[in-house]
């Protein structure tokens, strides 16, 4: 494959100092080198002139419903919640994603090149998440990690859903009990498998497979994180309590009041995917929503990523949430980390994405200027080293390459 050289721009690697007038080389879908203007460019390389531009890694939406909750499609396009059982660890978001929904294009125009797609929060245990790229072939072709976690919900949502059904759980204590019960059942299942494996081969009996227990077993073995929807501080405390009891890796999603227990989150190394931040206080547990909260968490030492919870907030507004969080006290470098390397680490894909470094996937954007300036835009986007989007100033719209040919 030919080498592509992006030259002359302000390269922002995220985990290293910006390079003014830098050069970044792409080969075989990966970043092969980056450095100053003196970095040699191989003969015959395709040159991308980025003079006066900013070059950044693609942003990552660590919590959203892109492709499973299609905009404007009503019931026909909503596959976010399987509300027929409060414990749905066996369902997989990947099985419901429409890879050609308009939201994928919107994401790219806002610099978002990877998304973690979650089931919804109507169930105490909603199902398995998937991390994937925003362009290229089928959903399976785009997968970065699957499953990337299991979605669980505390607070108002499962209470409302199951209270209307007149079944458990209809309270916060009932929701916690359902989650604990599911983990105990999974522990018992794993114990039966281990007990059979310990027997002599001729005495072993097969343990009937259970997809719910298998999925929860991956959480208990710390193979994937527990993605805990929680807004209120008391719900976050419950999430910490249950995680301590069962010993799994916890991520707090939303975290509207996470700043009130930030010391406890920081002490345990529990990250918070905070947001959405562009919403009204539409329910009681959002009463302390504030654009100042990301900065409060960051200053306390909590690792944060920022989320739109798409389609709650349109996904291309992800960077604008970061901008206004900076206005309200979030350090600007921390804001860029919250869009890039932090969500990559939370999703377990930071070996490939989240920063610009040799060996990482060449998933990056050329911006017209500082992305935290709302007047700037993505002019060019690359995934796996291929240019998949170009902004055409002549017709004032973006041009996408056919995604079935993008990989």
DSSP string, 233-284: HHHHHHHHHHHHHHT--EEEEE-TTGGGGHHHHHHHT--EEE---SS---SG
63 found inside a domain:
yes
193 found inside a domain:
yes
101 found inside a domain:
yes
DSSP string, 6-70: EEEEEE--SSS--EEEEEEEEETTEEEEEESTTS---TTPEEEE-TT-EEEEPEEEEEE-TTTB-
Sheet containing strand 143-153, strands side by side: 59-64, 112-117, 125-133, 143-153, 226-230, 250-254, 272-274, 304-306
Q: Burial code of 122-148, b = ≥16 C-beta within 10 A, e = fewer?
A: bbbbbbbbbbbbbbbeebeebebbbbb
Look up the CATH number of the domain holding residue 263.
3.20.20.140
**Does the CA dihedral 32-33-34-38 come out positive or negative?**
negative
313 found inside a domain:
yes
Q: Determine the Cα–Cα distance for residues 268 and 56; give it in Å rounded to an integer.
A: 31
Count of domains for the chain: 1
25 found inside a domain:
no
Q: Are 235 and 265 in contact (CB under 8 A)?
A: no
First CA to last CA distance, the chain: 13
123 found inside a domain:
yes
Residue 407: what pLDDT? 44
In order along its 407 residues, the chain shows pLDDT tens digits of 689 999 999 999 999 999 999 999 999 999 999 999 999 999 999 999 999 999 999 999 999 999 999 987 777 778 999 999 999 999 999 999 999 999 999 999 999 999 999 999 999 999 999 999 999 989 999 999 999 999 999 999 999 999 999 999 999 999 999 999 999 999 999 999 999 999 999 999 999 999 999 999 999 999 999 999 999 999 999 999 999 999 999 999 999 999 999 999 999 999 999 999 999 998 999 999 999 999 999 999 999 999 999 999 999 999 999 999 999 999 999 999 999 999 999 999 999 999 999 999 999 999 999 999 999 999 999 999 999 999 999 988 889 998 765 44
Residue 404: what pLDDT? 65
Range of the domain at 340: 59-353
Q: Are 66 and 104 in contact (CB under 8 A)?
A: yes
215 found inside a domain:
yes
Q: How many residues does the chain have?
A: 407
β 4-11/250-254 pair status: unpaired
- Beta-carbon contacts of 326 under 8 Å, excluding residues fewer than 6 positions away, are 332, 335, 372
CA distances from 144 to 110, 115, 209, 286, 288 (A): 20, 9, 26, 32, 34
Task: Identify which of 59, 56, 61, 57 has the alpha carbon closest to the alpha carbon of residue 275.
Answer: 61
Secondary structure (3-state) at 88: coil
Q: Determine the Cα–Cα distance for residues 255 and 270; give it in Å rounded to an integer.
A: 11
Give the DSSP H/E element, type plus range, for residue 91: none
Distance of CA 143 to the CA centre of its chain: 13
Q: Is the peptide bond before 406 cis (omega within 30 degrees of 0)?
A: no
32 found inside a domain:
no
């Amino acid at each position: 494959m030919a080498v592509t050289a992006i030259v002359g721009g302000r390269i922002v690697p995220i985990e290293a100092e910006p390079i003014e007038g830098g050069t970044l080389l792409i080969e075989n879908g990966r970043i092969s080198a980056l450095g100053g203007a003196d970095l040699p460019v191989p003969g015959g390389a395709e040159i991308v002139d980025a003079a006066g531009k900013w070059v950044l890694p693609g942003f990552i939406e660590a919590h959203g419903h892109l492709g499973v909750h299609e905009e404007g499609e009503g019931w026909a396009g909503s596959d976010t919640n399987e509300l027929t059982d409060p414990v749905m660890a066996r369902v997989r978001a990947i099985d419901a994603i429409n890879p050609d929904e308009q939201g994928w294009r919107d994401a790219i125009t806002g610099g978002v090149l990877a998304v973690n797609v979650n089931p919804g929060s109507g169930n105490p245990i909603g199902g398995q998440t998937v991390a994937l790229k925003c362009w290229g072939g089928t959903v399976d072709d785009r997968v970065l990690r699957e499953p990337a976690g299991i979605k669980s919900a505390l607070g108002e949502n499962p209470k409302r859903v199951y209270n209307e059904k007149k079944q458990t759980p209809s309270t916060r204590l009932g929701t916690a009990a359902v989650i604990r019960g599911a983990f105990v059942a999974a522990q018992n299942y794993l114990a039966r498998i281990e007990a059979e494996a310990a027997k002599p081969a001729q005495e072993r009996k097969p343990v009937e497979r259970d997809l719910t227990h298998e999925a929860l077993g991956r959480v208990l073995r710390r193979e994937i994180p527990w993605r805990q929807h929680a807004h209120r501080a008391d719900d976050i405390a419950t999430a910490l309590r249950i995680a301590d009891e069962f010993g799994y890796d916890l991520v707090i999603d939303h975290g509207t009041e996470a700043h009130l227990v930030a010391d406890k989150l920081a002490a345990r190394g529990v990250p918070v995917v905070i947001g959405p931040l562009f919403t009204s206080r539409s329910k009681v547990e959002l009463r302390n929503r504030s654009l100042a909260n990301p900065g409060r968490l960051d200053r306390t030492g909590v690792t944060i990523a920022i989320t739109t919870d798409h389609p709650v907030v349109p996904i291309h507004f992800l960077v604008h949430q970061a901008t206004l969080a900076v206005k309200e006290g979030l350090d600007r470098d921390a804001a860029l980390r919250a869009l890039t390397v932090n969500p990559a680490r939370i999703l377990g894909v930071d070996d490939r994405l989240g920063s610009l470094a040799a060996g990482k996937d060449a998933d990056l954007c050329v911006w017209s200027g500082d992305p935290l300036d709302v007047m700037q835009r993505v002019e060019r986007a690359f995934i796996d080293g291929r240019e998949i989007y170009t902004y055409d100033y002549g017709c004032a719209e973006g041009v996408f390459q056919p995604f079935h040919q993008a990989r």
